[in-house]
Chains A and B, each alone.
Chain A
Amino acid sequence: MPNLKTKVPFRGTKEQEKELVDFIRSMGDDKGAVMPILQKAQEIYGYLPEEVQIIIAEMTGVPLSEIYGIASFYAQFTLNPKGKYQISVCLGTACYVKGAGDILDKICEMVGCEAGSITDDGLFSIDATRCIGACGLAPVLTINENVYGRLDIAQAEHIIKGYLDKAKEN
């Protein structure tokens, strides 16, 4: 997993910080609260930059090194921001045997960034995900909330082109 420090600067707001702080307080001294807190923080900020990890460490008393250890251990947590359009290509077994690997390669080539990273303009990020449990639709990709299934390379190309055009217009 490439987890290089991002070039995109931290743009957290006071409101976001308040929401996080309130949530941490609401957890009280619940054993095992770090995971739900990190999940909430990622929901608020979209990712877990150092600035956010420091807030969590200071409020919970868990050392920052340990917070970082947890945040970097689980695949769901991301230390880098995600693009405006988050492309996820499922590489579960069912999708893989039906050619998802080639679809991923094609999309990376079209968008111009590697799996696990974000384009410099912050518009697109690509992830190779593990099974999303929609094996009946294999191969599957998702872009933000939209699910596209039963794909071949040509259809995937067509879908991505649509988003690229949309991004260009804005």
Chain B
Amino acid sequence: MNIVRSHVLVCGGTGCTSSNSPEIIKQFNKELDKRGLSDEVKVIQTGCFGLCALGPIVIVYPEGSFYSMVKPEDVEEIVEEHILKGRIVKRLLYEGDLKEAKVATSLNDTNFYKKQKRIALRNCGVIDPENIDEYIANDGYQALAKVLTQMTPEEVIDTITASGLRGRGGAGFPTGRKWAFAAKEDNPVKYVCCNADEGDPGAFMDRSLLEGDPHSIIEAMAIAGYAIGAHQGYVYVRAEYPIAVKRLQIAIRQAREYGFLGEDIFGTGFNFDLDVRLGAGAFVCGEETALMRSIEGHRGEPRPRPPFPAVKGLFDKPTILNNVETYANVPWIINNGPEAFASIGTEKSKGTKVFALGGKITNTGLVEIPMGTTLREVIEEIGGGVPNGKKFKAAQTGGPSGGCIPESLIDTPMDFESLAAVGSIMGSGGLIVMDEDNCMVDIAKFFLQFTVDESCGKCTPCRIGMRRLLELVDKITSGNGTLEDIELTEQLCYHIKENSLCGLGQTAPNPVLSTLQHFRDEYIAHVVDKRCPAGVCKNLLRYQILAEKCIGCTSCARVCPVGAISGEVKKPHTIDTSKCIKCGACMEKCKFGAIVKN
């Protein structure tokens, strides 16, 4: 292996790839080649660094200079100035809150990274995910070796149990206990499955893990196979994640070549192999029994439990299914000991959790924080607050199965119990921030539309109940609702929760219930005052011209598609609300801020 004097890390995650990072890599190689530096400097495509809002991201080592929003045309300058002449290109540096220091800083000094603790994401953005040697150099496959040569399956399960690791896919079931159930079954054929069918719209940590560190998932699944006595595993991954699928397949091939998968691993006589199965876009397939039906090649419909998959799962054999992030923690726990993991987090929620920060927040991206960090710390310190001077209104966690946390509860610690106590859930880790411009009834409706679309149709409460629920909420947002409708909505929510077959239906009313709990006044404004306080629900909007600001330029009247605006030149105009279709064209056109909606 050549010794190189400098490494250039370019993010190859989905966000940065979409904003042209492959072209940046090409440019780097071209510019380095032109200057004869190809042997001295190595360009590496890594996984996600987490700070997606500022992508594409480039880090140059040994200095550790963090360049953000790099364009292909900036590459020449970085090569010429930084790599050739040793002068850091300050113009492109991410300074964040360190503006005054004006120096090339280590990542860990910025607020975005300071409060984070990267266990699951430990290798993301650090190694080349398509090169197994880099994973091995970072202690990769050491945990598998330790497990196979020094530990019994029982010891492995005890270690995981002692760490307090709980499922990161949403429900938070203790991982060690799940493994123990499957290990107990006496059956020569068992399966280990990985749920990479990340369905929560707004969560993308599983994708980033598979793209940035696929070997950690492979290693963890082999460890799980040894612990429960399985020899075959399946990774069920969304077909919508092509980069993740490709890197996972490359990683599996490399692991086979190195003898970490296949027969007689490390000469211990243990056999284990992995296959990838592509999901085809069905949210319900995140439910374990539905996911297994789908791997078997059927419609992904759930079935009643028990029997639990640990007893009768894939192809009717004992099966364990864990989420990607859960697996990513496993090698770390084996290498560092269960005590190290259990020392992080709260009493009942151990370790860290990755959240996908999105919506109205400055630093959108992936963050990994110790359990128990407060929502305020995540939003204000790590996330950099709500942009454009707007006011924080609520944070939504858990996606279509979760709920909204209002500003008054912003000091809630982020752990399984505390989130449940305020009417939301941890879920898979989507964290969408909303500001004063978002209508909470509209958000509830958005999630209902999602779950109505994604209901598999097998059980009645979910198939029909959710549709009726959506109709009720739609009636409220269109201004035709009554106070009784709000009551009825609430009752129907409880019926659906109590009577649905699987987790999808049992949690689908949560977005409505939690907004009713924390933002009931908004629902009431919609039905009593026929007003949408955030100005989102179209049917309840009224556009109005402020006479004192209108100079009578007539441009609004000319742009109005239905002729609802009238008035004399140079005199204030008026809008005929009976004709107005609320398209907003007039407001866009007005240069004087004279048109408001309320």
Contacts and interface: CB of A to CB of B under 8 A. Distances in A.
A36 interface: yes
A37 to B, nearest CB: 9
Chain A interface residue number, banded: 35 or more
B364 A138 contact: yes
Interface string B440-453: 00010011001001
A70 B299 contact: yes
A31 B297 CA distance: 8
B239 A135 contact: no
Given A73-B299, A135-B358, 15 more contacts: A38-B280, A39-B239, A93-B202, A93-B359, A94-B202, A97-B359, A97-B438, A130-B450, A131-B201, A133-B14, A135-B15, A135-B204, A135-B356, A137-B55, A140-B18
Given A31-B296, A77-B280, A97-B360, A131 B200 contact: yes
Interface string A121-151: 0000000011111111110100000010100
Nearest to B48: A136
B297 A98 contact: no
Nearest to A33: B297
A142 to B, nearest CB: 9
A136 B364 contact: yes
A134 B17 CA distance: 10
Interface in B269-291: 277-283
Given A33-B297, A136-B365, A149-B18, A76 B280 contact: yes
Q: Which 9 A-B pairs have the closest CB atoms?
A: A136-B52, A94-B358, A75-B281, A92-B201, A74-B280, A93-B202, A32-B297, A131-B201, A133-B204
Nearest to A75: B281
Given A70-B298, A134-B14, A147-B18, A36 B278 contact: yes
A35 interface: yes
A36 B294 CA distance: 11
A66 B277 CA distance: 20
A97 B201 contact: no
Contacts of A4: none
Given A97-B438, A98-B360, A39 B204 contact: no
Interface of A: 1, 31-36, 38-39, 66, 69-70, 73-77, 91-94, 96-98, 129-138, 140, 147, 149
B315 interface: yes
Contacts of B446: 93, 96
B399 interface: yes
A73 B282 contact: yes
Given A75-B281, A136-B364, A93 B19 contact: no
Contacts of B199: 130
B384 to A, nearest CB: 13
A32 B391 CA distance: 51
A90 B213 CA distance: 26
A137 B204 CA distance: 12
B430 interface: yes
Interface of B: 14-15, 18-19, 52-53, 55, 198-204, 207, 239-241, 277-283, 294-300, 315, 356, 358-360, 364-365, 396, 399, 430, 432, 434, 438, 443, 446-447, 450, 453, 456
A1 B299 contact: no
B52 A32 contact: no
A15 to B, nearest CB: 24
Contact of A39 (B280, B295, B356, B453): B280
A137 B18 contact: yes
Contact of B241 (A32, A133, A136): A133
A35 B18 CA distance: 28
B281 A130 contact: yes
A96, A131, A133, A138: which has the most chain B beta carbons within 10 Å?
A133
Contacts of B278: 35-36, 39
A32 B277 contact: yes
8 contacts: A39-B280, A74-B300, A97-B359, A97-B360, A97-B438, A133-B241, A134-B204, A136-B365
A70 B241 CA distance: 21
Nearest to B435: A97
A32 B295 contact: yes
A87 B51 CA distance: 27
Contact of B15 (A36, A74, A134): A134
A138 B240 contact: no
A31, A131, A149: which has the most chain B beta carbons within 10 Å?
A131
A98 B453 CA distance: 21
A94 B296 CA distance: 32
Contacts of A147: 18-19
Contacts of B52: 134-137
Contacts of A137: 15, 18-19, 52, 55
B432 A97 contact: yes
A75, A93, A138: which has the most chain B beta carbons within 10 Å?
A93
Nearest to A73: B299
A130 B199 CA distance: 8
B227 to A, nearest CB: 24
Contacts of B300: 73-74
A36 B207 CA distance: 21
Nearest to B52: A136
A74 B298 contact: no
A32, A70, A140: which has the most chain B beta carbons within 10 Å?
A32
Contact of B55 (A34, A97, A136): A136
Nearest to B203: A131
Nearest to B16: A136
B567 to A, nearest CB: 26
A38, A97, A98, A137: which has the most chain B beta carbons within 10 Å?
A97
Nearest to A132: B240
Nearest to B399: A93
A93 B365 contact: no
Contacts of B434: 97
A93 B445 CA distance: 12
B18 A93 contact: no
